[in-house]
Structures are given as C-alpha cells and as structure tokens.
Amino acid sequence: MSSAADSPLIEAHDLTKRFGDFTAVDSVDFSVRAGETFGFLGPNGAGKTSTMRMISAVSPVSGGTLRVLGRDPATHGPEIKARMGVVPQQDTLDFELTVYENILVYGNYFGLAKDVIAARANELLEFVQLSERRDSKVEPLSGGMKRRLTIARALVNEPELLLLDEPTTGLDPQARHVLWDRLYRLKQQGVTQVLTTHYMDEAEQLCDRLVVMDQAKIVAEGSPRQLIDRYVQREVVELRFAGTPSVDGQLEGLGERVEVLADRILIGTDDGDGTAHAVHERGVPVESVLVRRSTLEDVFLTLTGRTLVD
Amino acid sequence: MAAVAHVPSTTPLERTFAVTSWHARSYRRTWRATITTAFLNPIFFLLSVGVLLGQLIDDDRAQLGGLSYVEFVAPGLLAATAMQMGANDAMWPVMAGIKWLRTYHAVLATPVRVGELVIGTMGWSGVRVLSAAAIFTAVAAIGGAIPSALAVLAPFAALLTGLALNAPITAFSASLEGGDDGWYPALNRFALIPMFLFAGTFFPVSQLPDWLEPAAWATPLWHGVELCRMLTTGDLDVLALVHVGYLLAFVVVGTILAVRLHRRALLK
C-alpha cells in the first residue's frame, strides 16, 4: 500500500530554466502531493510561468530533474499531457467555434469517443455555468466566461492534475469569486491543482500549500497560515498620511517591525489595538489608522522588501 | 495498484486527423469568405483569359503545341490556384495559431505532438486544394478546355503543387519570431505574383528571354503547371517524374523545416 498513492504527483530538484543568458528559474525544489492545491506566489517575472510550462511538458528543462505523474516530461510528454489539464495564462480558445465545439474539438485530441465527449461537455458546461451559452460563439463572452470555458475544456479528459496559470488575472471581483468557488469544488472532487498567482488573497483562499517565488528562486514554503506565523506578526497597523509619510523617529519601539512604503507605513505587531493606541498617544500626524490581520502580502514584503506590483 | 488510465491511448495518425478535423470544423464558419478565391476567381480567369482573350490568339496553334489557348491555359490556372491556396493557408492562419490567437498552444497542451499539429494543418490545406482543383477541373472539362481523360489525375498534381508551396511557407511563418506579418505582402509581390505571371501559366516559358528561362524552371509553380498540363492534354512523358520529384522535394524539405521551426517557436 505504498509507492503510487504516496509518491508526489510532481517532484522537482534543482529545477532550472535558462533563456540564453537569462535565468528564469534558478535551482528550485518543490513537490506536489495528490489531492492538494499548490500555489506559486510571486510578482510578474518571478519565474512562475516558466515553471508551469516545464510542468506542462511544453518547455524543456535547462537543468535539474523534474517528474510529473511519475514521468519525465522530456521523454513522456504526451503520456503526461493525457492525464493533465492546462489553463494557460492567456486564453487560447478558438473564436471560429461555438462554446460547445471548443470542448468537442479538444476532446478529439485525447482520442475520446464522440458520445463520451458530448456527455462530458454538457456536464462541464453545467459545472462552469455556461449551459445557456452552449451554442453561442466564444468571442462575445465576458472575460470570466472565457476563463470558465477554458477550465471546462481543460477538464474534458478528467485530469488527475489541473494546472492554472494566473486563473483570475484581469477578472472583476464577482467573476473571481465564481471561479474560486468552482476550483474549490474541483478540489473536493479530488483534483490536484497547481496554480500561479500574484494575488495574495487568491493564494490564501485556494492554496493548501504554496511557495513564494522571487527573482527565479523559491524564498519560502508552507501553508498560508504557517508562512504568516513564521515570517510576520499576527497583526498589522497601517498608517496613512495626508502627504508623504514622515515620522522622525516617533514610531521608535512600536511593534516588532516597521515598513515605510511610498504611500503608507506598516507596523507588524502582536497587539494591533495597543500599537494603534500608542500611535495616537505619541501624536503621530496620521490621516488614518487601520488595524488588520497579517496576510501573505506582508510575508512577501518581509521576505523581499518589496510589494507585489501588478 | 497502478493508477487508472481512463484516457484512451491514441495513434499519431488519429491525433493528426484530429488536428485536420479541427481545421475543417473552423472552416465551416469561414468558407463563404474564401469561396471566391478558391472557386470563382479561377473560373472567371478561365473565361476571360482562356476563352475570350484566347479567341484572339487561337490562329497560331503551333506555338502551343497544337492546343487551343483555353486548353493551354486551363492547367496553368489549375496549378496557379493550387499554389495560391497552399501559400495563403501557410501565412496568416499559421501566424494566428502560433502568435495571435495562440490556438496551437492549446493543441500542444494535449497529447498531440508538434509534428502531428504541423502535418494535420498541412493536411487540411491539402483537402482544400484537392477539392478546389477537382471542381475547377470538372468545370473546365465541361467547358471543353480539357482534351484528355488523364485529367482525372490533374487535381492530384495540383495538390502536390499546393503542398510544395504550403510546406516551405509554413516553415517561414514559424520562423518569424516577432510575428512580423509585413513579410507576407512582400512574399506575394516578389514571389507568388511573378510566378503566377511568368512561370508558364499564360504562355510557354520559351517565350521568355533565354537568360530568364532557367529562372522559370527553378520555380515550383512551373513544375506544377507542366505536370498539370501533361495530364489535362494527355501529352505525358518521362519528364513528369522530374516534376513530381522536384515538387516532392519542396514538400519533404519544407515539412521537415516546418516541424523544426514550429518546435522552436512553440516549445521554448
């Protein structure tokens, strides 16, 4: 009762990707277990998409080893792809075809029988709430609908592993929540998911475990809660100012950690209310004070000294 | 226990065919836009140049090996149409798949390999060329422009001509890293249109100045035109093998390059 079930679905050691002189992914190690939702979190250019493309077996590795579903993508690409679903960063839907036909054509590539594809396509359109648009063209669909169709299409082969590269980038808040809900249901059905995002709330919402990537390297790894516990204080006091923040040492000794940003100052502390109170007592010329729980955003800031910029 | 394999395994031929049928399905929506270039224009040409202009020059049949002008020009138009269709299919549609709509990336996220994608796509162009050529040949035969029954093979010669252009231009498209479609009008102006006008479609290349004639022999269209003409007129000789060989070389070398360059463009 060992091996197959327990061994990771994805395993990378010293995984490296170079484009000429540029190193996009620099000796990273990670593994993804069956059933979990695993995230790559980081700003644009951190190496997330390059990593995803290597996992999808469409980008040869430059160094290190990578096993996906127990196989080497360099030699077993098609076998891996047969058991995997890919939702790329940019939609790659065929605008000449209808919503339904996009799934139908895709199912053909996996060698599925027509009636099997037809049955699954209808189920999947139901699942992503596009049944009413079944026979409409793809182009007039909203961004969120196109995303959902791309996900439905990626599920036609009933993959064990679903890769999602920035699944909600560019979507409005409501469309994001609909999508998150669907991804959560897939997780309940036991589909292992690997996703990239530069949204902290998305990573916290969806991921069981994640790695933070910055400048081609993995800088931290753990569950969202573990990362927050390990790298930041429980709460953050956010100070906003009328102009540029200027405090001249007035915050000396407050909280555990102070980050001065362009438009605000963040104080990491285990006692948010106490710190906020002290800020007022000292007469710091703030415009507003907000006490909130620490998030992955604060983790990233602590680890890299930078905010995540879109 | 090993993991369940609920995805059936597929053969390369099945995957290639799946790509061809994707294009066929997409084409259902766009066929109206291409019907004129594929079917009507060549028939209009046959009427205007072959029949109407041809009547003015039919006095001197010796120059055309005893053929009427319309009999001479019909196979030329057949080959030239095949060239144009094969070339067009290899330009913007390929660029769209790689760069603009990125539909090729979607195909490669499945078990389909690059070679199957490229050959399946060329296969669809082949289907289009072959059916347009069959219709043109039938219309020309009904109109009395086809003296020989060997013409039933002419659509296959046209197919070979179309693919001899399609394969290398597909490779060219995949080589345009930046997605620079500015090359296509140039390709049309400086290669395809001059071939159409001077490589034996409308007159025997022996009419060209002696120094220019070898240039015409080098073009794939001339070999396609000659091959089609041998079949529609029944004047077949051993040179047909040279034409087939020359065109096949374009297809084979073009396909190998196309697969390599697609791999470079799509699997970075």
Residue A248's Cα: distance from chain center in Å? 39
Distances (CA, A) of B123 to A112, A226, B116, B162: 21, 54, 10, 11
Q: Within a 10 A sphere around the Cβ of A177, how many other Cβ atoms? A: 14
Q: State the nearest Cα–Cα gap between A159 and chain B, in angstroms.
A: 9
Query: Chain A, 175-204: which have a CB under 8 Å from a chain B CB?
Result: none
**One domain for residues A141 and A44:** yes
Q: What residues of chain B have any CB closer than 8 angstroms to a CB in chain A? A: 1-3, 5-10, 14-15, 18-19, 21-22, 25-27, 29-30, 101-103, 105-113, 266-268
Which residues are A195's β-sheet partners?
A39, A164
**One domain for residues A204 and A266:** no
Residues A40 and A213 sit within 8 Å (Cβ to Cβ): yes
**One domain for residues A118 and A266:** no
Rounded Cα distance between B251 and B161, Å, is 9
Residues B137 and B39 sit within 8 Å (Cβ to Cβ): no
Segment A155-160 shows an average pLDDT of 96
- A308 domain residue, yes or no: no
Which residues are A31's β-sheet partners?
A11
Full domain range(s) for residue A205: 3-223
**One domain for residues A212 and A260:** no
Residues of chain B with C-beta less than 8 angstroms from the C-beta of A34: none
**One domain for residues A210 and A240:** no
End-to-end alpha carbon distance in chain A = 46
Quickly state the pLDDT bin for A171 (edges 50, 70, 90): confident
% chain A with pLDDT above 70: 97
Per-residue pLDDT at A305: 75
Cross-chain Cβ contact B8/A56 below 8 Å? no
Secondary structure (3-state) at B175:
helix
Tell me how many domains chain A contains: 2
The two three-digit tokens of residue B129, written as one number: 């060329």
Rounded Cα distance between A171 and A89, Å, is 12
- The DSSP bridge pattern shows strands A63-68 and A10-19 to be antiparallel
- ipTM associated with this complex: 0.88
Let me know if A173 is exposed, middle or buried by CB neighbors in 10 A (0-12, 13-18, 19+). exposed
- A255 domain residue, yes or no: yes
Between B31 and B26, the higher pLDDT residue: B26
**One domain for residues A247 and A154:** no
- A260 domain residue, yes or no: yes
Helix axes B154-175, B220-233, angle to 10 degrees: 170
Between B186 and B39, the higher pLDDT residue: B186
Cross-chain Cβ contact B105/A109 below 8 Å? no
Per-residue pLDDT at B41: 86
pLDDT at B4 over 90: no
CATH classification at residue A258: 3.30.70
Range B252-256, long-range pairs (CB < 8 A, 24+ positions): B252/B167, B253/B167, B253/B168, B254/B164, B254/B166, B254/B167, B254/B168, B254/B169, B254/B170, B254/B171, B255/B118, B255/B119, B255/B122, B255/B167
- A266 domain residue, yes or no: yes
Residues of chain B with C-beta less than 8 angstroms from the C-beta of A78: 111-113
Residue B63 CB-half CA count within 13 A = 11
pLDDT at A153 over 80: yes
Full 3-state SS string of A225-283: HHHHHHHCCCEEEEEECCCCCCCCCCCCCCCCEEEECCCEEEEEECCHHHHHHHHHHCC
Segment B148-177 shows an average pLDDT of 96
Residue in A with minimal Cα distance to B21 = A105
Residues of chain B with C-beta less than 8 angstroms from the C-beta of A101: 25
Cross-chain Cβ contact B105/A88 below 8 Å? yes
Per-residue pLDDT at B3: 44
User: What is the longest distance spanned by two Cα atoms in chain A?
Assistant: 73
CATH classification at residue A142: 3.40.50.300
Residues A58 and B266 sit within 8 Å (Cβ to Cβ): yes
pLDDT at B34 over 70: yes
Q: State the nearest Cα–Cα gap between A180 and chain B, in angstroms.
A: 22
pLDDT at B60 over 80: no
Rounded Cα distance between B6 and A65, Å, is 27
With CA atoms as reference, report the closest residue to A211 among A294, A293, A303, A307. A303
**One domain for residues A35 and A85:** yes
- A301 domain residue, yes or no: no
Burial A47-63 (b: 16+ CB within 10 A, else e): bbbbbbbbbbbbbebee
Cα dihedral A148, A149, A151, A152, rounded to 10, equals 120
pLDDT in tens, B7-23: 678 899 999 999 999 99
Quickly state the pLDDT bin for B2 (edges 50, 70, 90): very low
**One domain for residues A204 and A241:** no
Per-residue pLDDT at A277: 92
Residues of chain A with C-beta less than 8 angstroms from the C-beta of B25: 97, 101, 105
Segment B244-253 shows an average pLDDT of 98
**Lowest-pLDDT range of A106-110, A259-263, B172-176:** A259-263
**One domain for residues A219 and A238:** no
Segment A198-214 shows an average pLDDT of 91
- A39 domain residue, yes or no: yes
**One domain for residues A209 and A259:** no
Mean pLDDT (chain A) is 91
Its sign, for the CA torsion B237, B243, B244, B245, is positive
**One domain for residues A219 and A257:** no
**One domain for residues A25 and A124:** yes
- A298 domain residue, yes or no: no
Segment A204-229 shows an average pLDDT of 94
Residue in B with minimal Cα distance to A112 = B8
Per-residue pLDDT at A245: 80
Cross-chain Cβ contact A97/B29 below 8 Å? yes
Per-residue pLDDT at A5: 54
Q: Within a 10 A sphere around the Cβ of A194, how many other Cβ atoms? A: 25
pLDDT at A228 over 50: yes
Residues of chain A with C-beta less than 8 angstroms from the C-beta of B26: 94, 96-97
A59 close contact with B: CB closer than 8 A:
yes
Domain boundaries, chain B: 12-266
A50 close contact with B: CB closer than 8 A:
no
Minimum-distance CB partner of A81 among B21, B109, B268: B109
A97 close contact with B: CB closer than 8 A:
yes
Rounded Cα distance between B166 and A61, Å, is 32
Q: What does DSSP assign to residue B247?
A: H
